[in-house]
Amino acid sequence: MRRKIIAYACALSGLLAAGVASAAPGVEYDPLTHQPLIQRPGALGAGGRPLATAIPRETVYFNGKYAPGTIVISTAERRLYFVLPGGQAIKYGVGVGRPGFEWSGVKTVAMKKEWPDWTPPAQMLRRRPDLPRHMKGGIENPLGARAMYLGGTLYRIHGSNEPETIGQAVSSGCIRMTNDDVVDLYNRVSVGTKVVVMR
């Protein structure tokens, strides 16, 4: 079952969220939509199992040639850096493309969406014909709470309801964050933001 879930690639559905979708201890809610964001330590999921906790975001020293406001993603490190003034950056844990789906390059954020709908691309449907053709935005949507679309690609920086996949290489090339972290990044980023992806 675990392998089947992981195989959802770029967009894994929030199956674990089914056990915590109602108001429950340990769950933080989006102030606009009242949808659950991230399971806090001590929260329980389906079957009463403890939920995985996310890699904490932190402000770190950052030696780089990138201007403040740039997103720098190290797929080898499985971390995303949002560059701040003064030689610092906010570091987030991310999930990245699995073997065969790695990529690098310089892109820009072309579009932003809150609780986005998901339409799997044709390439993904050929690999996984069992996937839905379209899914409305919401807590069970595999794109999570927010998505930032990278221009000229099928890739997104998006949320996920499966924090245990953060720090792993399991997607079809999208950059995955916890819902809590993707909301934080989304609020800092504007359309046109430069995104540097390094392997």
Average model confidence (pLDDT) for the chain?
77
What is the Rg, in whole angstroms, of the alpha carbon atoms belonging to the chain? 16
Of the residues 10, 34, 134, 174, only one is catalytic, namely 174
Write down the pLDDT at residue 178: 94
Write down the pLDDT at residue 15: 29
**80 inside domain:** no
Write down the pLDDT at residue 165: 87
| pLDDT, tens digit (0-9, with 9 covering 90-100), for 40-67 | 444 444 455 444 456 899 999 998 899 9
Write down the pLDDT at residue 18: 30
The answer to whether residues 89 and 57 touch, using CB atoms and an 8 Å cutoff, is: no
User: Residue 166 maps to which CATH number?
Assistant: 2.40.440.10
* Residues β-bridged to residue 107: 195
For residue 46, how many other CB atoms are within 10 A of its CB?
12
**63 inside domain:** no
Write down the pLDDT at residue 53: 54
Largest interatomic CA distance in the chain: 48
> Distance between CA atoms of 66 and 84, rounded to whole angstroms?
9
Of the residues 10, 34, 134, 158, only one is catalytic, namely 158
Parent domain of 170: 2-52+94-192
Percent of the chain with pLDDT over 90: 49
Reduced DSSP (H G I as helix, E B as strand, rest coil) percent helix, strand, coil of the chain, to 5? 15, 30, 55
In terms of Cα–Cα distance, which of 107, 80, 99, 88 is closest to 196? Answer: 107
* Residues β-bridged to residue 71: 82, 195
| pLDDT, tens digit (0-9, with 9 covering 90-100), for 158-170 | 999 788 889 999 8
> Distance between CA atoms of 99 and 173, rounded to whole angstroms?
10
| pLDDT, tens digit (0-9, with 9 covering 90-100), for 112-130 | 999 998 776 677 767 777 7
Number of domains in the chain: 1
pLDDT range class, residue 179, cuts 50, 70, 90: very high
The answer to whether residues 25 and 51 touch, using CB atoms and an 8 Å cutoff, is: no
**Residue 174 annotated among the catalytic residues of the structure:** yes
> Distance between CA atoms of 174 and 80, rounded to whole angstroms?
12
**168 inside domain:** yes
**77 inside domain:** no
Model-wide pTM > 0.75: no
* pLDDT, greater one: 108 or 34: 108
**15 inside domain:** yes
Provide mean pLDDT across the span 73-98: 96
**Residue 34 annotated among the catalytic residues of the structure:** no
**199 inside domain:** no
Write down the pLDDT at residue 100: 86
**183 inside domain:** yes
**89 inside domain:** no
> Distance between CA atoms of 60 and 39, rounded to whole angstroms?
24
Write down the pLDDT at residue 134: 66
Percent of the chain with pLDDT over 70: 69
Strand 71-74 and strand 194-198: pairing? parallel
